[in-house]
Amino acid sequence: MATSTGTPTTPTESRAHPRGAQLAPGELAAWRGFLRVHAALTKQLDAELSAVHGLPLRSYEVLLHLTDAPEGRMRMSELAETVLLSRSGLTRLVDRLQREGLVCRESCPSDARGSNAIVTGAGRERLRTARATHLEGVRERFLDRFSAAEQRTLAGYWERLAPGAARGGDADGC
């Protein structure tokens, strides 16, 4: 069913387009807007964390997930999937974090082929100091632009696209 303006109210209504058809102006605006806003926000948050704490957003994300994991450790393959990096990309990032003393790596006791990344005390401290900056940036650049009801609506959209995406895994927030 569509609204009085013709806007689809259910996800299946927008699937009436033939395969390969050009996006309608409204569809294109929604898609490009999403891509551009995501890119701009992550670029701004990354720049701020790097400037203030010497910690790029991807490094922050790795430290966050490790800190939230049991015993501060995760298998490298699981961590790569969690932070949306290739295994080789995560390996390079963890190597850098290890050189900085923020994480260490050890062989996985149950599988000699795998390894675990473990957050160090210095990594926990760097995350702790960077967290306030990051949360302030997220609120200022994104959350404060929406009412609580609009935030819930957005979370519902993310869940529709990727179940579990809006729930996240950390109890303390990002």
Q: Which domains does the chain have, with CATH numbers?
A: 44-161 (1.10.10.10)
At a CB cut-off of 8 Å and minimum separation 6, what does 17 contact? 24
Give pLDDT, residue 9. 53
Matching residue, tokens 């969690």: 82
Give pLDDT, residue 168. 60
Share of residues in the chain with pLDDT > 70 (%): 87
Highest mean pLDDT among 67-71, 77-81, 146-150: 146-150
What is the mean pLDDT of the segment spanning 124-147?
97
The four Cα atoms 166, 133, 41, 38 give a dihedral, to 10 degrees, of -20
- Asked whether residue 174 carries a pLDDT value surpassing 60, the answer given is no
- Asked whether residue 5 carries a pLDDT value surpassing 80, the answer given is no
- Asked whether residue 112 carries a pLDDT value surpassing 80, the answer given is no
Task: Give just the sign of the alpha carbon dihedral 65, 68, 69, 71.
Answer: positive
CB count in 10 Å sphere of residue 35: 10
At a CB cut-off of 8 Å and minimum separation 6, what does 124 contact? 63, 67, 72
Mean pLDDT of the chain: 87
Give pLDDT, residue 11. 58
- Asked whether residue 148 carries a pLDDT value surpassing 70, the answer given is yes
User: Tens digits of per-residue pLDDT, 36-69?
Assistant: 999 999 999 999 999 999 999 999 999 999 999 9
| Kind of pairing between the strands at 103-108 and 73-75 | unpaired
- Asked whether residue 85 carries a pLDDT value surpassing 50, the answer given is yes
Please state, in angstroms and rounded to a whole number, the distance separating the CA atoms of residues 80 and 87. 6
